[in-house]
Amino acid sequence: MLALYLERWPDVLAPPLELLQVSPDRSLERFLDRDGIHRTSIDVDNPAVDLRMDVHELAFENGSFDAVLCSAVLDVVADQPRALAELKRVLRPGGTAIFQVAVPEQPRLTANLEAEGFDTEIVRAADFGPSARTTYALIAEEETYVCRRRD
């Protein structure tokens, strides 16, 4: 669903852009490997990333990134609020963060995003219409969170 979202709304990650990608997904590379996007990838155990780093303790300065992309990570971290606080810290004011978690974890993420003070737009499979849900086998309950750092 995230790939479909980025395909339909490419301006959400429009260059020029400093992007932090947490636990990169190869299927998204075609949307991210564009002129003007400088991508830094991190993970704790993936040797194919730029930096091995824990999302709970990011070694970046405040406001280092225009955008953060984090899929299938926040549902498995030890401390989701702490990870969100760190991701918000390294995001520039007005920056965009895109998050996805497993469907059962979505209510917890929604509450933690609100507590952290993100302005959040929830994109649902239904937003793409019934033919897209069938063509791309989208999970009806799946949500993608497009968040803005407001301060």
3-class DSSP state for residue 48?
Answer: coil
Closest CA to 73 of 95, 41, 47: 41
Question: Top-level CATH class of 2-149?
Answer: alpha beta
What whole-number distance in Å separates Cα of residue 92 and Cα of residue 87? 10
Residue 147's CB: how many other CB atoms inside 10 A? Answer: 23
Per-residue pLDDT of the chain (151 residues; tens, 9 = 90+): 999 999 999 999 999 999 999 999 888 888 899 999 999 999 999 999 999 999 999 999 999 999 999 999 999 999 999 999 999 999 999 999 999 999 999 999 999 999 999 999 999 999 999 999 899 999 999 999 999 998 7
CA distance 147 to 121: 6
How is residue 106 annotated by DSSP?
Answer: H
Helices (H), the chain: 2-8, 29-32, 80-90, 106-116, 130-135
> Which pTM was predicted?
0.95
Domain locations along the chain:
2-149
pLDDT at 80: 98
Q: What angle do CA 42, 45, 48 make, to 5 degrees?
A: 60
